[in-house]
């Protein structure tokens, strides 16, 4: 059986799509797939400038349209500027993928308040700020839209040394339900996707015990790929 191309299954031509945290890892894969489906893609990054530039380059090399924009998603002003930049670049904003987050390991007993706040802010506060700003733009456009929050299997199945991340992703899951309930009246759909462990350049060095545990228990005996 011939496998159809992405743009043969999904047509996002003329749509403006923002993918947060797409300078590397899962976000970069999401950005590339949307571009393949015809979308104009805004690649957001916080610190991965080189990675974001490479994602944009690869999209343009295939004939797609993409720009990169830096923003601190824990800052409401930066988020507002990011949304404005996305609209200026694409002419409109139809889809936002809230993918940005951080994934450090720290035991519950040794975790500092600063470590807790850093993960909650980057992973949960960012979803709130981006959802609110994007929804206001979509309502102003008057044509609805879609928000997809990247949660995690850890939202319902906690992993050791990840209490801050577990709590943040659990919050993302409940926030998604609340946002879907409120924004549906405006034609805005809000959903969550909960991936398992996805390969990234440094994950085996940053969390070797987690990678080993996942590999032992996953039916395919491997990590997911972006």
Position 203 scores a pLDDT of 82
User: What parts of the chain have a pLDDT lower than 70?
Assistant: 1
Helix/strand/coil (H, E, C) string of 177-225? HHHHHHHHHHCEEEEEECCCCECCCCHHHHCHHHHHHHHHHCCCCCCEC
Q: What residues are labeled active site?
A: 165
CA 95, 23, 126, 148 dihedral sign is: positive
List pLDDT tens digits, range 101-118. 998 999 999 999 999 999
Position 1 scores a pLDDT of 63
pTM: 0.93
Position 199 scores a pLDDT of 86
């Amino acid at each position: 059986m011939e496998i159809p191309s992405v743009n043969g299954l999904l047509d996002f031509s003329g749509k403006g799509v923002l993918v947060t945290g797409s300078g590397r890892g899962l976000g970069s894969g999401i950005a590339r797939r949307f571009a393949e489906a015809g979308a104009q893609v805004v690649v957001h990054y916080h610190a991965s400038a080189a990675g974001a530039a490479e994602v944009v380059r690869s999209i343009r090399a295939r004939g797609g349209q993409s720009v990169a924009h830096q923003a601190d998603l824990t800052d409401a002003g930066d988020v507002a500027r990011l949304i404005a930049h996305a609209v200026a670049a694409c002419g409109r904003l139809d889809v936002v993928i809230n993918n940005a987050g951080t994934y450090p390991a720290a035991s519950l007993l040794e975790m500092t308040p600063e470590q807790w706040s850093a993960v909650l802010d980057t992973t949960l506060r960012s979803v709130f700020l981006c959802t609110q700003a994007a929804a206001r733009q979509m309502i102003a456009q008057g044509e609805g839209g879609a928000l997809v929050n990247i949660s995690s299997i850890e939202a319902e199945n906690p992993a050791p040394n990840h209490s801050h991340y577990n709590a943040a992703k659990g919050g993302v899951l409940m926030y998604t339900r609340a946002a879907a309930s409120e924004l549906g009246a405006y034609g805005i759909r809000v959903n969550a996707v909960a991936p398992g462990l996805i390969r990234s350049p440094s994950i085996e060095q940053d969390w070797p015990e987690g990678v080993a545990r996942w590999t032992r228990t996953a039916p395919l005996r491997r990590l997911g790929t972006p």
